[in-house]
Amino acid sequence: MKVVVLLGAPGAGKGTQAPLLSGRLGIPVVATGDLFRAAVRDGTPLGLEARRFMDAGQLVPDQITVRLLLDRLARPDAEAGVILDGFPRTGMQAKALDEALADRGAVVCAAVLVDVAAEELVRRMSGRWVCRAAGHPYHEVSSPPRVEGTCDLDGSELYQRTDDRPETIRARLAQQLGALDDVLEHYRTSRVLRTVDGLQPIQDVADAVAAAVNGAGACAD
């Protein structure tokens, strides 16, 4: 069974790469956020347990997340393996996942990082501007206004929300990258970490991610 962990900072393109890798490897993407929502919606025992923590405004304990994942891995479509997206997010979670998989005779055979430098992530995420009159959205790179600083539709001034300003994004990213570093260190230690240059065109990144997984000896078993 191939258990592949896809890693990347927010904005690195991990969400784009997960379904592409799924198509190439023929195994499903498992996103823990979706698992939670489904379990809570269906009212499964684990879902009810998770919901008690969510209703109390607490983080769902890692053990519950891991049990949800194991249930998912037991389904027929996951027989050949899964791509994990969004888990593990901390070193502790990575350790808990290893232990749970070991009980089933499985391992994470490759952890692939879609690597994009922090300043590039800030640039990608901080390009959003909205107009003062109606909040019409623009993006410096993907959908710029015809006249810089002015809304195409109503001529009002464009401004950046606090959340979209580079300094806000840089601060939030620093926290997220700290947790990601712990996860990377975990997989570096277990020698399954592979790094792919996330600045290439999307299809080239997809090729490199697939090659990283296929080249990982443990994934061939």
- Catalytic residues, by residue number, are 14, 89, 128, 161, 172
Minimal CA–CA distance to 18: which of 185, 194, 27, 186? 27
Which residues lie across from 197 on neighbouring strands? 115
Question: Which contacts (CB < 8 Å, 24+ apart) does range 15-21 have?
Answer: 15/85, 16/202, 17/114, 17/202, 17/205, 17/206, 17/209, 18/83, 18/85, 20/202, 20/203, 20/206, 20/209, 21/83, 21/206, 21/209, 21/210, 21/213
Task: Tell me how far, at minimum, the Cβ of 127 lies from Zn ion, in Å.
Answer: 17
Helix (H, G, I), strand (E, B) or coil at 55: helix
Q: Which is nearer to Zn ion, 134 or 220 (CB)?
A: 134
Which amino acid appears at position 147 of this protein? Answer: V
Q: Which residue number, 147 or 153, has a Cβ lying nearer to Zn ion?
A: 153
Judged by CB under 5 A, which stretch of 20-28, 65-73, 75-83, 151-159 contacts Zn ion?
A: 151-159
Among 30, 151, 206, 208, binds Zn ion (CB under 5 A): 151
Q: Are 38 and 48 in contact (CB under 8 A)?
A: no
Sheet arrangement for strand 137-139:
137-139, 128-131, 158-159
Which C-beta is closer to Zn ion: that of 135 or that of 215? 135
158 is a site residue for Zn ion (CB under 5 A): no
Q: Which is nearer to Zn ion, 90 or 150 (CB)?
A: 150
CB of residue 183 vs Zn ion: minimum separation in angstroms? 41
157 near Zn ion (CB under 5 A): no
Q: How far apart are CA 162 and CA 164, in angstroms?
A: 5
- The single residue among 153, 171, 202, 220 that binds Zn ion, judged by CB under 5 A, is 153
Q: Which stretch binds Zn ion (CB under 5 A): 40-48, 49-57, 75-83, 125-133?
A: 125-133
Q: Which of 24, 51, 136, 165 binds Zn ion (CB under 5 A)?
A: 136
131 binding Zn ion? (CB under 5 A): yes
Residues of this chain that interact with Zn ion (CB under 5 A) are: 131, 133-134, 136, 151, 153-154
